[in-house]
């Protein structure tokens, strides 16, 4: 055995010479062997072994798919992850894409924010090649912990700092055009002749909720701010907000809710107080969450975002980023994948 404290460290070039292949081939093999023919892979592996070659620290940290595992972190308590179908849909997309690449989905569940330090420790512990993180909240310690863990990360939903306020490493995220979708919904309500259009907002410490509110405001320039009630993306929250709004504006004639679950809650309240939808009050949701949006009575007009596709894209961007990092380590040109903002579509059903 060579003594690492005295013997000169074998170089990539030495391995290439020993194996009779190019430097790039050695690099590719060391980084996972993609696209290298099996006999060459074998020769390189043998040379690596004979020389006791160890990739240097920087290169090692760039070696891709060491664990063939990707962590998914949802910044919500376990109970919400399993009751809001949004997360199941996003996970479905992620699971399909990771499985396609034989990469293990490692879902890190928590009871709440107090557990995020532990999630950070697990991420830093070298158990995964990268992380997919979604449902971030404004004052969440998670982003800092993830940066500290040093794992490549793709975010679901635009993180609040991605507007350019923090001058850190480029943030890669997948988002929907929340503001544009909200604008289209409210414009549609206005086109129906509705004038007292209320908005049930999501939790405003999330950019998706803020962007949808901004889209509402883009159209309702002079609206009474009391037409806006913040809720929490749950059906119960939608019910409470709807009661609050009816108390403030008994004559309101339209509601745009920031997701379908809250719209479903609002619908129950409207029905309970005898308002017909859409005749008395037109109602639009957001997500096109099935079966929720189709099974309400009347079925919901809503802004469709492709949640499963968002999950797939997150996984794809992360895996591509890992490959490129590997490519960079191997001396081939790479680049950071860019964020993606998916378009939304207004789906007209019976509620507006």
Distance, in Å, from the CA atom of 225 to the CA atom of 247, rounded to the nearest integer, reads 15
Six-digit token string for 22: 């190019």
Taking the least distance from each CB to its own copies, the nearer of 84 and 253 is 84
Both tokens assigned to 90: 């996003």
- Rule CB under 8 A: say whether 345 interacts with its own copies: no
To 10 degrees, what angle do helices 23-30 and 38-51 make? 90
User: Minimum Å distance from CB 308 to its own copies?
Assistant: 11
Please report whether residue 121 would count as binding its own copies according to CB under 8 A.
Answer: yes
- Side-chain half-sphere CA neighbours of 243 within 13 A: 9
Judged by CB under 8 A, the residue of 107, 223, 342, 346 near its own copies is: 107
Q: How far apart are CA 65 and CA 33, in angstroms?
A: 11
Binding region for its own copies (CB under 8 A) out of 114-122, 131-139, 158-166, 209-217:
114-122
Q: Report, in Å, the least distance between residue 78 CB and its own copies.
A: 5
For residue 177, give the nearest of 169, 168, 166, 185 by alpha carbon: 185
- Closest to 207 in 3D by CA, of 250, 155, 244, 242: 155
Least distance CB 81 / its own copies (angstroms): 9
Residue 295 as a binder of its own copies (CB under 8 A): the answer is no
Site for its own copies in 42-71 (CB under 8 A): 67-69
Q: Least distance from C-beta 82 to its own copies, angstroms?
A: 4
Strand partners, 199: 228, 256
Say whether residue 291 binds its own copies (CB under 8 A): no
Residue closer to its own copies (CB basis): 261 or 283: 261
**Shortest CB 316 distance to its own copies, Å:** 16
CB of 242 to its own copies, least distance (A): 22
Q: How crowded is residue 66: how many other Cβ atoms within 10 Å of its Cβ?
A: 14
Q: Please check whether residue 289 is in contact with residue 261, taking contact to mean a CB–CB distance below 8 angstroms.
A: yes
Distance in angstroms (rounded) separating the CA atoms of residues 98 and 312: 8
CB atoms within 10 A of CB 137: 15
Say if CB 75 and CB 156 are below 8 A apart.
no
Q: Which of 38, 102, 139, 251 binds its own copies (CB under 8 A)?
A: 102
Q: Which of 21, 36, 119, 227 binds its own copies (CB under 8 A)?
A: 119
Q: Which is nearer to its own copies, 85 or 180 (CB)?
A: 85
Q: What is the smallest separation between the CB atom of 185 and its own copies, expressed in angstroms?
A: 28
* Window contacting its own copies (CB under 8 A); options: 121-129, 220-228, 241-249, 286-294: 121-129
- Looking at the DSSP assignment, which residues form a beta bridge with residue 257? 200
Positions touching its own copies (CB under 8 A) are 1, 3, 67-69, 78-79, 82-83, 85, 88, 91-92, 95-96, 99, 102, 104-111, 115, 118-119, 121-122, 125, 127
């Amino acid at each position: 055995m060579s003594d690492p404290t005295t013997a000169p460290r074998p170089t990539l070039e030495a391995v290439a010479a020993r194996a009779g292949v190019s430097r790039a081939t050695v690099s590719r093999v060391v980084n996972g062997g993609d696209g290298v023919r099996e006999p060459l892979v074998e020769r390189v592996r043998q040379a690596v072994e004979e020389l006791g070659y160890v990739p240097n620290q920087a290169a090692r940290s760039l070696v891709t798919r060491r664990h063939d595992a990707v962590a998914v972190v949802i910044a919500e308590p376990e109970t919400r992850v399993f009751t809001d179908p949004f997360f199941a849909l996003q996970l479905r997309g992620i699971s399909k894409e990771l499985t396609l690449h034989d990469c293990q989905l490692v879902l890190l569940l928590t009871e709440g924010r107090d557990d995020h330090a532990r999630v950070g420790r697990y991420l830093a512990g070298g158990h995964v090649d990268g992380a997919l993180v979604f449902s971030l909240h404004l004052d969440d310690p998670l982003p800092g912990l993830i940066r500290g863990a040093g794992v490549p990360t793709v975010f679901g939903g635009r993180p609040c700092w991605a507007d350019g306020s923090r001058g850190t490493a480029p943030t890669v995220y997948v988002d929907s055009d929340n503001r544009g979708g909200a604008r289209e919904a409210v414009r549609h309500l206005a086109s129906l002749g509705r004038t007292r259009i209320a908005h049930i907002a999501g939790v405003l410490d999330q950019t998706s909720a803020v962007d949808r509110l901004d889209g509402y405001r883009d159209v309702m320039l002079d609206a009474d701010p009391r037409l806006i009630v913040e809720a929490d993306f749950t059906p119960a929250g939608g019910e409470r907000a709807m009661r609050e709004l009816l108390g403030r504006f008994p004559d309101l004639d339209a509601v745009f809710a920031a997701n379908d679950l809250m719209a479903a809650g609002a619908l129950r309240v409207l029905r309970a107080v005898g308002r017909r939808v859409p005749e008395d009050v037109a109602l639009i949701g957001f997500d096109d969450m099935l079966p929720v949006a189709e099974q309400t009575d009347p079925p919901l007009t809503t802004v469709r975002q492709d949640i499963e596709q968002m999950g797939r894209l997150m996984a794809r961007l992360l895996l591509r980023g890992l490959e490129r990092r590997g490519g960079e380590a191997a001396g081939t040109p790479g680049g950071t994948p860019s964020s993606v903002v998916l378009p939304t579509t207004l789906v007209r059903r019976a509620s507006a």
